[in-house]
Amino acid sequence: MAHMADVYIIGSYSTRFQKWPDKSFKDLTREAYLGVLGDSGLDDGSDIEIAYFGNCGLGTWGQPCIRGQVCFTPLVRDGLFPERVPMVNVEDACATSSVAMNGAWKDILSGQSHLALAMGVEKTYVPGDPARTMELFAGGIDQLDPGEWQAHYRQQGEAAGKPFETGPGRTIFMDTYAMQASHHMRKWGTTQEQIAIGAAKNHNNGALNPLAQYQFEMSVDEVLADREVSHPLTRSMCAPIGDGAAAAILCSADYLRNLPSDVQSRAVKVKASALSGGKYRSLDEPGLTKIAADKAYAMAGISPADIDVAEVHDATSFCEIYQVEMMGFCEIGAGGKFVGDGHTMLDGKIPVNTSGGLVSKGHPVGATGLSMIYELVAQLRGEAGARQVDGARLALAENGGGVMGMEEAAACITILEKDS
Amino acid sequence: MAHMADVYIIGSYSTRFQKWPDKSFKDLTREAYLGVLGDSGLDDGSDIEIAYFGNCGLGTWGQPCIRGQVCFTPLVRDGLFPERVPMVNVEDACATSSVAMNGAWKDILSGQSHLALAMGVEKTYVPGDPARTMELFAGGIDQLDPGEWQAHYRQQGEAAGKPFETGPGRTIFMDTYAMQASHHMRKWGTTQEQIAIGAAKNHNNGALNPLAQYQFEMSVDEVLADREVSHPLTRSMCAPIGDGAAAAILCSADYLRNLPSDVQSRAVKVKASALSGGKYRSLDEPGLTKIAADKAYAMAGISPADIDVAEVHDATSFCEIYQVEMMGFCEIGAGGKFVGDGHTMLDGKIPVNTSGGLVSKGHPVGATGLSMIYELVAQLRGEAGARQVDGARLALAENGGGVMGMEEAAACITILEKDS
C-alpha cells in the first residue's frame, strides 16, 4: 500500500425498507440525501465534490443511463444539491452500494476529493407486475449464455444431493442458496433448525428496528412452519422484495479537522474496504467473501476476534451460517452450531445482523450495502437504541452481489472503527 | 491534493468500430482484453488486481447487472483472466469508459492496486429492431420526468431560433446539438460551412484509420449535400450507430519500474483525469467540459497551449467547434473560425480528432472514451502511422455523456504525457 490516509464517515442514513409503490426514485433519493446531510451536521451540501450512485434496476423503469444525475435533478433545481458535482453510477448487483462507498473512499484516499457522497437507491416492487421484479433479479446472473452456469449447477446440485431445478416462478438465487445449504447440511451436519434459529433471531432484531420492513418477532417453530421456498429454506428465511435508499457522507481527515467537535465526536473511521470477484466454485472451496475479508483484516491490521458487531449478507438465513465462517468468527464448518448456539444473538459473542438483516430489515438490492453501513455507524456511535451492542468499537459489513457459480459475483467487506 | 503519485498506461487497444451483428458482448470483450494484454507487453493478466467495466446498453440485451463479470466469464474459464479479480461496473452514458479509466486511475492512486484494467464494451446496433437502439439512446436523458427538460428545451430553443421538436424517429441528442449549433451561429456568426469543414476533416482522418467505422474521404460540399438530420446538421456531421470495445491497462510507478525497458519506453503517463457534472444550463453559460478541463489543466500544471493533439467528443461536428472553445484552444465564440481556418487539421496548430472522431471512427457509447485514449496513446508513442502528429508529447481527451439541459450530464477530461 503506497498510501493510507484516514477517511471518515460523518453522516449515514437509511429510509425504512418497505414496498413503497407511491415513492418514486427521486422521492427516495431526496429523503436519503436530506437525511444523510442532516445526520452529518453539515449546514448544506455545498462542499460535496463527487457522488457515487448505486442502483441495479432503473433500466427496467426506463432509465438505463445517468441514473444518479436524473435522480438528483430536482435537488439541484431546488438548490439543495450543488451544481456541477460529478456522479459516477456504479453497479455490482446486491453489492452495489458497498461498491459505491468503496468508490467514494478511494476518491478521498487518492486525494481527489475531501467530501464525497455514496448512495444506493432501489425499487424492486412493481405493483401488479411480479414478472418485472423477477426480470430485475434474473439480471444478477448470466443471461447471455445461461447454459454455462446451468451445467455447473446441475453438477454441483448433484454433489449436494439437491438437484438443480429451474423454470417459471423459481428464483435462481434462492435455489442456489438452497443447494449450498443442502451441501453444508450433508458435509458438516448443519440442521434446518440451526438455520431457523438464525432467521428467528433476525426477525426478533428487526422487531426492534424502526427501519425494518418486517417488525414482528418470530419463533423458531414459526420459521420452520412457514411456506417452503426451496428446501431447506422457508419464506421467513429469505429476504423479501422491497424498496428503499441509504447513503453515507465520507470525508478526509483534513476536512474532519475543521468541523465542529460534536460532528468530530460522531465520526466513524473507515478502517478497510476490500473487494473480491466470484468464480465457478465447487461447493468445497472457500468463497470470495473469505478472500475479501482476509484482505480487509490485513488492511485494518486486526483479526476476526477484534470485531464487536457485524452485518452479513443474509439473502437467506443459510448465508449467515456460511458467512460467519467466511468472516472467521468461527471455524469453517462450524457456522451452523455457532448460530444455533446463539453466538450471533444481540447478547452473543459476536452480534450479527442487529438490524434484522436482509430477511427482516429487507433487501432493496442496490440500497442494501449502505443500509448495513448505517446500522454499524449507529452501533459504533452508541445510537442503536434497543439493538445497541455495548461498547462496540470495531464493526464489519459483508455485502455480496450477483450469482456467479455457487457464490456471488462480487463482494465488498467494510471495516469501521470508532475511536473512543 | 493530498497525494499525487504517477500512474501510467502500459497497454491500450480498440477493436474496429463497426456494426458487428455477429460478435457478442463476450466476443468483443475477449478481443479487447487479449488485445490490450498483448499491447502491454505483459506475459499474462495474472497481476491484474481490479477491473473497471463500462457499458450502457447491456440491460436492453437482458443483462442489467454484473455486466463485466458476465462478459469475462469465458476468459476466466479459459485461464486467460485471473480468478477473483473484483469488477466494478460503471456507467455515465457516452462518458462511461473514460469514467471507467478514471476509476482504475484512482484505484492505483489510492494505493489499492498496482495494475488495473479499464474497459468499455458496447453493442448499439440491433439488426431489424431500430427501436431497441433508440431506447438505449433515450436512456441518456431523464425518462422519469421528461416534462422538466422538455420545458427547458422549449425555452432555450426559442432563444436559439430553433424550436424544440420531439416525436417518433427524432433523436433528442441530435436535436439538442442542433439547437446549440443554431444558437452559436446566431450569436457568434458560426456558419454551417465551418461545421462541414470539421466534419470533412474528420472523415478524411478516418480514411487513414484502419479502426474507423467509415474509412472514406468526404469533401465539404459532400457533407453539406448529405441528408439533413436536424438543421444545420447533416448525416455526415453526426456520429453513426455501431459496436465495439476499447481498453487500457494502468499501473503504478512502482510496478512500471520492474518491467522490461521496451515496455517502460512505450508507457504513457496519466497527467490528469477530471470529472464534472451537468446542469440545466442556459446556452450562454460555459459548459461542464470547460469546468472539467480547467480542473485537468490545474492538476497537470499545464495550459491549453501545451497540448499537442486532442480527441474531443464530436457526437456532432458542431461539438468539435464548441469543445475547442471549452478546452481553451481558442477564445469562446471563435471555434467556428478556428475549425474553419483548418487549425484542427492533422497539420494544423492543434490537431483534433486525428482518429476521425465520433463522426467517422464511430461511437459505440460505452466504448468511446477508451477509444480516444487508444488514439492518443498511439500518437504519443509515435505509432499513429499516416495520422501521426510529429513530436506529440501532451495529449487531451474530452468525453461527455448523457443529456442534462443543453449539455452533457457527465464529462471526463484526461491529459496524457509521454516523457521523451
ipTM: 0.97
- Mean pLDDT score, A80-95: 98
Residues B248 and B277 in one domain: no
A69, A124, A365: which to substitute to probe chain B, counting the most B Cβ within 10 Å? A69
Give the range of the structural domain holding residue B413, as residue numbers without chain letter.
144-239+271-417
pLDDT for residue B4 is more than 80:
no
Is residue B363 among the annotated active site residues? Answer: yes
The mean-pLDDT minimum among A135-139, A355-359, B13-17 falls in A135-139
Q: Is A400 on the interface with B (CB under 8 A)?
A: no
- The reply to whether B215 touches chain A by the CB within 8 Å rule is no
Confidence (pLDDT) at B288: 96
Task: Name, in order, each residue with C-beta under 8 angstroms of A288's C-beta and a sequence gap of 6 or more.
Answer: A276, A277, A278, A279, A281, A400, A407, A408, A410, A411, B84
B167, pLDDT greater than 90: no
Is a pLDDT exceeding 60 seen at residue A129?
Answer: yes
pLDDT of amino acid A4 = 57
Cis, peptide link before residue B232, omega less than 30° from 0: yes
CB pairs below 8 Å between A and B: how many? 228
What's the domain count of chain A?
A: 2
Task: Please determine, for residue B1, whether its predicted confidence score (pLDDT) is greater than 50.
Answer: no
> Chain A contacts of B292, Cβ < 8 Å?
86
pLDDT tens by residue, B125-134: 999 998 889 8
CATH number, domain containing residue A12:
3.40.47.10
pLDDT tens string A162-175? 898 877 777 788 99
pLDDT at B40 exceeding the cut of 90: yes
pLDDT digits (tens, 9 = 90+) for B396-410: 999 999 999 889 999
B420 touches chain A (CB under 8 A): no
Q: Are residues B62 and B172 in the same domain?
A: no
A76: contact with B, CB 8 A cutoff: yes
* Cβ distance of B66 and A410 shorter than 8 Å: yes
Whether B139 is in a domain gets the answer no
Strands (E), A253-338: 268-277, 309-311
Cβ pair B2:A70 closer than 8 A: no
Instruction: Tell me, yes or no, whether A132 lies in a domain.
Output: no
What pLDDT score does B3 carry? 40
Contacts of A88 in chain B (CB under 8 A): 90, 92, 99, 102-103, 275
pLDDT digits (tens, 9 = 90+) for B234-245: 999 999 999 999
Provide the pLDDT for residue A173: 87
- B155 and B261 both lie in a single domain: no
Q: What value does the mean pLDDT of chain B take? A: 95
Average pLDDT over residues B154-175: 84
Q: Is the pLDDT assigned to residue A19 strictly greater than 90? A: yes
Residue A21 lies in a domain: yes
Comparing CA positions, the residue from A267, A192, A193, A111 lying closest to residue B105 is A111
Question: CB–CB of B111 and A109 under 8 A?
Answer: yes
Assess whether A313 and A377 both reside in one domain. Answer: yes
Round the average pLDDT of chain A to a whole number and report it. Answer: 95
Burial class (CB in 10 A: 0-12, 13-18, 19+), B226: middle
Same domain, B279 and B337: yes
Tell me the chain B residues in contact with residue A280 when contact means C-beta distances shorter than 8 Å.
73, 76-77
Same domain for A255 and A329, yes or no, is no
Q: What per-residue confidence (pLDDT) applies to A364? A: 98
φ and ψ at B125, to 5 degrees? -90, 120
The pLDDT of A203-220, averaged and rounded, is: 98
A191 and A255 in a common domain: no
Best residue in B7, B46, B50, B66 to probe A by mutation, most A CBs within 10 Å?
Answer: B66
Question: Closest residue of A to B3, CA-based?
Answer: A111
Mean of the pLDDT values across residues B60-80? Answer: 96
Among A224, A250, A270, where does a domain finish? Answer: A270
Chain B nearest-CA distance from A125, in A, is 17
Q: What pLDDT is stored for residue B267 in this prediction?
A: 98
Residues B262 and B187 in one domain: no
**pLDDT average, residue stretch B340-358:** 98
Residue B122 has pLDDT above 60, yes or no: yes
Question: Model confidence at B16, in pLDDT bands (50, 70, 90)?
Answer: very high
Contact A145 B26 (CB under 8 A): yes
Residue B283 has pLDDT above 60, yes or no: yes
pLDDT average, residue stretch A294-317: 98
Query: CA geometry: angle at A20 spanning A16 and A26, to 5°?
Result: 90
Chain B contact for A34 (CB, 8 A cutoff)? no
Q: Name A251's bridge partners.
A: A8, A115
Q: Beta partners for A398? A: A413
- pLDDT of A3 reads 40
What confidence tier does A349 reach under pLDDT thresholds 50, 70, 90?
A: very high
Distance of CA A183 to the CA centre of its chain: 24
CB neighbours of residue A252 within 10 Å: 20
Maximum Cα interatomic distance, chain A, rounded to a whole number of Å: 60
| Closest CB from A56, A110, A275 relative to B109 | A110
